[in-house]
């Protein structure tokens, strides 16, 4: 003989977790695709459409383009539910990492992107030589002292992509406020 608990525990559990997921999606930007609310294939706000933007300033005051080198698990968490404390942590990690130059390629898509967004700030014009910096790792030969790039200030922010169906246009939209961190006074804005 089955009891009401046997029959109703699972359905109640599903509804409770889904209600929590809906709450988090509306209050803390949890992606509708995740968290057990069965919001998959219903919204374009998938974690892969969310990304971290980093604006970095070197010690000499120049703006530099960097690949932040945030570990995959942290990045995954940020994409699913951008959390202020986690963003602070990432900003500190990015600020205190040393960087070495990397290369960036060109493509037809890049030219088209520029044509469509002449005023957008792209990595290449800022860097002149088209250099993107990446974190210094143990695989790299030890850099000459003072050659590795050190940052003075970083601004990190999560963004997401949106789609305008009438014009088939994809655009970016910020998620929450940016975190600004500076070495001098350790200020977090």
Partner 1 sequence: MSAEMEMPMPGSAQPAAELRGLLGHARHTAHEVVTMPRDLIVLRLTLLLLMLHGSQQGWKLDVPLRVLCGAMLVHSPLLTSRALWLVVTCTVVVMNAMHWFHIDNHKYLMTYWCVGCTLAVASGSRDAVLRQNARMLVGICFALAVIWKLAAGQFVDGSFLHWTFLEDGRVESTSMLVGNLSADQLAENRSLISLLKSSPGDGVGVTLSTSDGLRWVTLAMSWWTLLIETAVAVTFLAPRHSRIAKLRDWTLIIFVATTYGLLPVIGFAFTLCILGFMQCEPERRRTGLAYLGLLVAIQLTRIPWDNIVGSMMS
Positions touching partner 1 (CB under 8 A) are 1-3, 5-7, 9-11, 13-15, 17-18, 30, 32-45, 47, 51, 53, 76-77, 80-81, 107-110, 112-113, 116-117, 119-123, 159, 161, 163-165, 167-172, 174
Name residues whose C-beta falls within 8 Å of residue 135's C-beta, 6 or more positions apart in sequence: 67, 68, 69, 97, 98, 99, 100
CB of 134 to partner 1, least distance (A): 14
Q: Please say which residue, 139 or 166, places its beta carbon nearer to partner 1.
A: 166
Q: Give the Cα separation of 90 and 95 in Å (integer).
A: 8
Q: Please say which residue, 19 or 59, places its beta carbon nearer to partner 1.
A: 19
DSSP three-state, residue 90: helix
DSSP 5-44: HHHHHHHHHHHHHHHHHHHHHHHS---TTSSSS--TTS-S
CB of 146 to partner 1, least distance (A): 29
Q: Please say which residue, 59 or 170, places its beta carbon nearer to partner 1.
A: 170
Q: Please say which residue, 141 or 168, places its beta carbon nearer to partner 1.
A: 168
CB of 85 to partner 1, least distance (A): 14
CB of 186 to partner 1, least distance (A): 26
Q: Give the Cα separation of 113 and 122 in Å (integer).
A: 10
CB of 40 to partner 1, least distance (A): 5
Report residue 160 as tokens: 């997401």
Per-residue DSSP letter, 81: S
Rg (CA), the chain: 21
Q: Please say which residue, 27 or 107, places its beta carbon nearer to partner 1.
A: 107
CB of 39 to partner 1, least distance (A): 4
Q: Give the Cα separation of 172 and 49 in Å (integer).
A: 9
Q: Please say which residue, 147 or 172, places its beta carbon nearer to partner 1.
A: 172
Q: Give the Cα separation of 85 and 178 in Å (integer).
A: 12
Q: Indicate if the alpha-carbon torsion angle 135, 118, 176, 25 is positive or negative.
A: negative
């Amino acid at each position: 003989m089955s009891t009401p608990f046997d029959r109703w525990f699972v359905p109640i559990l599903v509804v409770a977790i889904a209600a929590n997921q809906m709450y988090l999606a509306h209050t803390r930007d949890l992606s509708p695709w995740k968290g057990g609310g069965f919001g998959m294939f219903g919204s374009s706000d998938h974690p892969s459409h969310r990304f971290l933007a980093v604006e970095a300033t070197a010690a000499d005051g120049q703006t530099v383009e960097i690949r932040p080198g945030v570990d995959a698990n942290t990045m995954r968490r940020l994409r699913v539910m951008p959390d202020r404390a986690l963003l602070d942590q990432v900003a500190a990690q990015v600020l205190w990492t040393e960087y070495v130059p990397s290369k960036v390629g060109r493509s037809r898509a890049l030219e088209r992107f520029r044509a469509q967004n002449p005023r957008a700030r792209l990595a290449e014009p800022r860097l002149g030589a088209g250099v993107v910096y990446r974190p210094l790792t143990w695989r790299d030969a030890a850099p000459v002292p003072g050659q590795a790039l050190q940052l003075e200030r970083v601004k990190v922010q999560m963004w997401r992509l949106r789609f305008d169906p009438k014009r088939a246009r994809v655009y970016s939209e910020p998620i929450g406020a940016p975190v600004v961190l500076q070495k001098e006074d350790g200020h977090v804005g």
